[in-house]
Structure 1
């Protein structure tokens, strides 16, 4: 049974909602901890938790078959959280997807596979999932949804080339993509990223 932890404004009272997706080896509580830094006071928060801390077993750029089953199951988990939000009466344009690392990749992938006007997508170190970026996997129009991707220019897990490819495709689908690429090599969330997101999306 999928575990989806909740926090913030009760969903039946909320006008805004966020789906928060943790990184590999983390859990729902850890990503909910971001709410101390992000301006999410008005949001219902839903944080699904991956089985054994991983949304898919291999690199997000591994051959597609190797992650196929786990990735499909993880996207279904997000769809479950999404359905809870929409069924409660919160409109898609007031829903924000937020993820770190593996969760950031998953946030971008879910958004691109279900492109529409959203409240925003916040990807702290991530890119679209797949051995290659395949534009025929995606359809829809983001309608100027703001998408933030922040990362190191030499992150060990997420190459800058994939971030740039992701930006190109997402922009072509009608998103307004903001890249913040840093000179350090830290796999982390930086204060500059928090400040931009708080000032421009939340």
Structure 2
């Protein structure tokens, strides 16, 4: 199971009015995802990046039956919740809380916010979708109140079928999120400069 271990960056949490929760991908680290920060318009934000045990949030594909990824998936969601609580306890309101993830971290980002939908500052998912063999809409509740969300992905992507990205976008829109989805032909499993630019434009500079 995961143990809460938050690596921080950016503005000191006690002095920040906005916070960005950054979720790394499989095999990566909190420091890896924090290394994106200089390219993002987040200089006024406290950056909080929890570290997954053994560098993975859950053992199998995000498209596997949910029970196969338990108890790790529930523990991962709890780690995000505890990171949110850390920011909340420091006085950061939900509408000033932002989320960003890549790959497995993008899937976890979308899964968390869809289970806890409310007005956030915004969310960025670089190559990810909602989790499960089938989407269990009973898990998703709340109203995003037009929270801006950017989802970028490659088609094809070895890990993330574009059909799941489309389905995730539609579900978030039904929950009143302001979603921008962009599919890049043959981009590969990476983060592009165009995605960074759109994340800044659509989410962080709103």
The residue matched to 2:120 in structure 1 has which SS? coil
Q: Are the aligned partners of 2:150 and 2:202 in contact in 1 as well (CA < 8 Å)?
A: no
Partner of 1:119 in structure 2?
121
The residue matched to 2:190 in structure 1 has which SS? coil
Distance in structure 2 (CA, Å) of the matches to 1:127 and 1:191: 20
Partner of 1:148 in structure 2?
150
How many residues are paired up?
Answer: 202
TM-score (normalizing by structure 2): 0.96
Partner of 2:81 in structure 1?
79
Q: Are the aligned partners of 2:124 and 2:151 in contact in 1 as well (CA < 8 Å)?
A: yes
1:22-33 alignment runs, 5 A limit? 22-33=24-35
The residue matched to 1:66 in structure 2 has which SS? helix
Report Cα offsets for 1:135-168 as digits up to 9, x if no partner: 1111100000011110001100000110011011
Distance in structure 2 (CA, Å) of the matches to 1:7 and 1:94: 17
Report Cα offsets for 1:63-88 as digits up to 9, x if no partner: 11101210000111111110010111
Tell me the C-alpha RMSD between the 2 structures: 0.7
The residue matched to 1:80 in structure 2 has which SS? helix
Gaps of 5+ in 2: none
Partner of 2:163 in structure 1?
161
Distance in structure 1 (CA, Å) of the matches to 2:95 and 2:11: 17
Distance in structure 2 (CA, Å) of the matches to 1:88 and 1:36: 24
Asked if 1:190 is matched to 2:192, the reply is yes
Gaps of 5+ in 1: none
Deviation at 1:185, TM superposition (A): 4.2
Structure 1 stretches of at least 4 aligned residues deviating more than 2 Å after TM superposition: none
Distance in structure 2 (CA, Å) of the matches to 1:124 and 1:141: 22
The residue matched to 1:158 in structure 2 has which SS? coil
TM-score (normalizing by structure 1): 0.98
Deviation at 1:2, TM superposition (A): 1.9
The residue matched to 1:93 in structure 2 has which SS? helix
